[in-house]
Chains A and B, each alone.
Chain A
Amino acid sequence: MKGWMGKVLNVDLGSGAVTTTPLDMDMATQFIGGRGLGARLLWDLVGPEVEPFSPDNVLIFAAGPLTATGYQTSNRFSVSTKSPLTGTVLDANSGGWWGMHFKRAGYDAMIVRGRAEKPVYIEIKEDGVTIHDASHLWGRTVSETSEALGQDKNKRSVLCIGPAGENRVLFAAIMNDATRAAARGGPGAVMGSKNLKAIVVEGKTRVEMDDKERFRFVQYESTKMLKANPVTSQAFPEFGTSVVMNIINAIGALPTRNFQQSYFEHADDISGETITEDILIKNTACWACPIACTRLTKTSKGEGEGPEYESAWSFGAACGIHDLEAITNTNYICNDLGMDTISAGSTIACAMELTERGLLDSDLRFGRADLLEQTVEDIGYRRGLGDELAEGSARLAAKYGAPELSMSVKKLEMPAYDPRGMQGQGLLFATSNRGGCHMRGNMLGSEVLGLPKLIDRLQVQGKAGYVILHQHSAAVLDSIVACKFANIAIAEEYFARALTALTGVSYPTGDLIKAGERIWNLERLYNLREGFTRDDDNLPPRLLNEPATGGSEGQVSHLGPMLEEYYRARGWDANGVPKRAKLEDLGLAELALEVV
């Protein structure tokens, strides 16, 4: 079979052993690669007895069959582990160049086990893998580390953690190519716990294709889709992902001041239009990406990347702040220390509300832009109050007696879409396997942008079906691996045809989506094995009880009926446990029947 490289790299940091094993091709065809392959390997390797910071936890870096082929956005890879923030199955996903170089070094995946005695970094080349001392790099920022290790996107990619990962900030990111982040759920903290500072890759081996001519035709047709779609051909390149800021705000779904409101009166100040007008130097792109949504920006303090939509929101509307300069500088710092901007900003917003309610003694208040940069630095280095914020909003709010003020699901902070104004999005957050997240499926297309067709964002009946489809589709994208933004224009049908032409394995669209369902159910089973229950498929009470404002005035989330429909539609029982028939249908019965 083509498309896959056929090899898995195993690195044991405890013993220093480096081995290569063949990729299990049955596993690969069923779970594809990236997130799916990661979840399947994690199922075997990390059981409920393993703590996230135990040497027995693993980090799985996985490319997909599409990675490095040149297909649109085929630059991505995923990192799978047990999350220290949520305790759930986790994969975080990143673009850039590292994934392409990693696969071209000859591997589909790498499993990192154990813990090094002292800081190390791994160097992967086609002629060998070496573990080097990294003591001189420990404590250095992402940009410093990337430069020291010779970051050159065209031939040598550096993936590393910053001080936040070393200090085990629970939402620390793994950064690659200096500014790309695999951030959600804290994989950087797991990397820090292993004393692993960086992984450097160089590779030039081309991916073999089963039917190159057919693959290139699918790619050609996909190009038409990207060019014809105004989101991918105009809005994202010109304004970045923040182009949706004003759109989301207008419908009353922009969470504001820790979700106390869903309309931000200063949204335009942090919008894509303002970013382009005031601070943009130019837009840039990951490898093989024609969309180019990345923002290269400048402020009075320097140049950097971002903010993209979620970051502009988390340090902006979520904190009641509309000082774009402060938001952008904070985003730079967050990237350089290696942290998830969504969790960082949302945790600060939580602290602001705790303070304003008199539950926390701090200077943090909504609108205090002057404190943003220092607060984020304090989190990364775990200084003062930053040490408490580094635990995330759920632990922070619980500690100060108001757990309901954490705007999180399964302890993962929710992103910039208010479930009261987008009913399906609420169900999506509540059921996401890695916690409150918009990248395990996103209703933005269906409920707001009309992609492929607009559905009523406030409708409840039938929403489960859309959510499930988007969840499966996202699992596929994360496994093949391609960017969700390509999927805005390119339908699943095209990815299925590209995968079939690439691998020689027949993937009709329906079967590919079913692979996404298999991955989703395995992740669910993983969480059930960890002790998660139906009670964890929930939203903060504020969203169920306190009415939204602005364009969604008076709305609350109707999670209950949607969740019931969701379980039924999935073939799960009323407790959210997959039924035996579902496991048999997905080929998971032999693997996981004891869990149900």
Chain B
Amino acid sequence: MVDERVYEMFREIGRDMYVHNLVSSHGGNISVRFGDRIIIKRRGAMLGRLKPHDLIETGLEKNDSGVALASTELIVHRAIYKATPALAVVHAHPRRAISLSLSRDEIIPIDNEGSYLLKKIPVVEVEFASGTPQMANTIADALRTYKIVMMRGHGSFATGQTLDEAFQWTDALEEVCEIIMYAHAMNEQMIEYRKHSDSYKNW
């Protein structure tokens, strides 16, 4: 039985993701780890309109009937929890970040907030980019070192101690990408204001 406070957290983060244009109506998924259990969004449920029955509980390692109802990306969430200390995972389809991922192997923020929070976001790529073991392992491996990564052409995966935290990295990424796009569109010489800015590439 999922605690009412846990549902409230899912409902609020899911709604905010939709409102912030980080997912389309039925896209994206979020989960938390409770010990050896995972609470994850139901497959096909709308993040912006989560109901209590849209929260599916299943095992971190072991399958049970929950897997028949859980998000298709359950395999990725499991891999992330096994490879990292994450207690929450947010997967989104942030449109500007996806656009930048089509031409870059890493996204390096140019704004102050993004530099402060994220430093660098790697872009990874796999052939079958949805719900496959290959994708799960690639994402999980990247998240051992980074708190948010982009899968080229697909979307972001972010980790945190809470959904709130993983959502923060996701929303921050989209803001980073929006600023990069604006700056690029303006096509003016950028004045570097950050000390040691070249070092972000090596983060």
| A interface, CB within 8 angstroms of B | 213-214, 217, 220-221, 224, 228, 446, 452-453, 455-456, 459-462, 464-466, 469, 472-473, 492-493, 496-497, 508-511, 513-514, 565-566, 568-569, 571
Bound: A46/B203 CA distance, A: 42
Bound complex: CA A569 to CA B61 (Å): 11
Residues in B with CB closer than 8 Å to A492 are 85
Q: How far is the CA of A221 from the CA of B35 in the complex (A)?
A: 32
**Nearest-Cβ distance from residue A583 to partner chain B, whole angstroms:** 16
Q: Which B residue's beta carbon lies closest to that of A506?
A: B145
Quick one: which of B2, B35, B145, B202 has the most chain A CB within 10 A?
B35
Contact of B36 among A224, A453, A455, A569 (CB under 8 A): A569
Q: Is the CB of B162 within 8 A of A453?
A: yes
- Chain B residue with the shortest CB-CB distance to A225: B116
Closest 6 CB pairs of A and B: A569-B35, A510-B144, A508-B144, A462-B34, A513-B85, A510-B84
Let me know if B145 and A508 touch, CB within 8 A.
yes
* CB nearest to A213 among chain B residues: B199
Q: Which residue in chain A gives the minimum CB-CB distance to B39?
A: A462
Q: Is B152 located at the chain interface by the 8 A CB criterion?
A: no
- On chain A, the residues within 8 Å of B162 by CB distance are 452-453, 455
A459 to B5, CA, bound (A): 8
A496 to B119, CA, bound (A): 15
Q: B143 in the interface, Cβ–Cβ < 8 Å?
A: yes
Contact of B6 among A217, A461, A493 (CB under 8 A): A461
With contacts A461-B6, A466-B87, A469-B87 taken as known, whether A566 is within 8 angstroms of B161 at the C-beta atoms is no
CB-nearest residue of chain B to A469: B85
Residue-wise interface mask of B (154-177) relative to A, using a CB-CB cutoff of 8 A (1 in contact, 0 not): 000000111011000000000000
Known: A453-B161, A509-B85, A568-B35. A220 touches B196 (CB 8 A): yes
Given contacts A452-B161, A510-B144, contact A221 B87 (CB under 8 A): no
Residues from chain A with a CB closer than 8 A to the CB of B87 are: 462, 465-466, 469
- What residues on A are CB-neighbors of B203 within 8 Å? 497
- Please report which residues of chain B, range 14-29, place their CB below 8 angstroms from some CB of chain A when the two chains form the complex: none
Chain B residues at the A interface, C-beta cutoff of 8 Å = 2-3, 5-6, 32-36, 83-85, 87, 116, 119, 143-145, 147, 160-162, 164-165, 195-196, 199, 202-203
Q: Which of A460, A465, A509 contacts B84 (CB 8 A)?
A: A509
A221–B119 contact, CB under 8 A? Answer: yes
Report chain A residues within 8 Å CB of B160. Answer: 452-453
Q: How far is the CA of A534 from the CA of B137 in the complex (A)?
A: 36
Question: A217 touching B196 by the CB < 8 A rule?
Answer: yes
Chain B's nearest CB lies how many Å from the CB of A209? Answer: 15
Contact between chains at A465 and B35 (CB < 8 Å): yes
CB atoms of B35 and A566 under 8 A apart: yes
Structural contact, A510 and B85, CB atoms closer than 8 A: yes
- Least CB separation from A458: chain B residue: B5
Task: Give 22 pairs: A residue, B residue, CB < 8 Å, sorted on A.
Answer: A217-B202, A220-B196, A453-B161, A453-B165, A461-B3, A462-B3, A464-B34, A465-B33, A465-B34, A465-B87, A466-B161, A469-B85, A496-B145, A497-B203, A509-B84, A509-B85, A509-B144, A509-B147, A510-B145, A568-B36, A569-B34, A571-B36
A464 touches B35 (CB 8 A): yes
Give the residues in chain A near B195, CB-CB below 8 Å.
220
The answer for the CA separation of A565 and B32 in the assembled complex, in Å, is: 14
In the complex, what distance in Å separates the CA atom of A497 from the CA atom of B145?
A: 9
- The distance from the CB of A160 to the nearest CB of chain B, in whole angstroms, is 38
Q: How far is the CA of A446 from the CA of B5 in the complex (A)?
A: 15
Which residue of chain A lies nearest to B60 when distances are taken between CB atoms in the complex?
A569
Question: Nearest-CB distance from B112 to chain A (Å)?
Answer: 10
Give, as a whole number of angstroms, the nearest-CB distance from B179 to chain A: 19
Across-interface contacts of B6 in A (CB, < 8 A): 459, 461-462
A464–B83 alpha-carbon span in the complex (Å): 18
Q: B116 near A461 (CB under 8 angstroms)?
A: no
Given contacts A455-B162, A508-B145, A509-B85, contact A217 B32 (CB under 8 A): no
Please indicate the chain A residues that have their CB under 8 angstroms from the CB of B36 in the complex.
568-569, 571
How far apart are B39's CB and chain A's nearest CB, in angstroms? Answer: 8
Which B residues touch A493, using CB under 8 A?
A: 147
Task: Given A456-B5, A465-B34, verify A510-B196 contact (CB < 8 Å).
Answer: no
Q: Are A510 and B35 in contact (CB under 8 A)?
A: no
Closest CB in chain A relative to B124 CB, distance in Å: 14
A320 to chain B, nearest CB (A): 35
Residue among A472, A473, A497, A508 having the largest count of chain B Cβ atoms under 10 Å: A508
Which B residue's beta carbon lies closest to that of A514?
A: B85
Separation in Å of the B195 CB from the closest CB of chain A?
8
Q: Are B144 and A214 in contact (CB under 8 A)?
A: no
| Shortest Cβ distance from residue A431 to the other chain B in the assembled complex, whole angstroms | 13
Which residues of chain B are near A464, meaning CB under 8 Å? 34-35
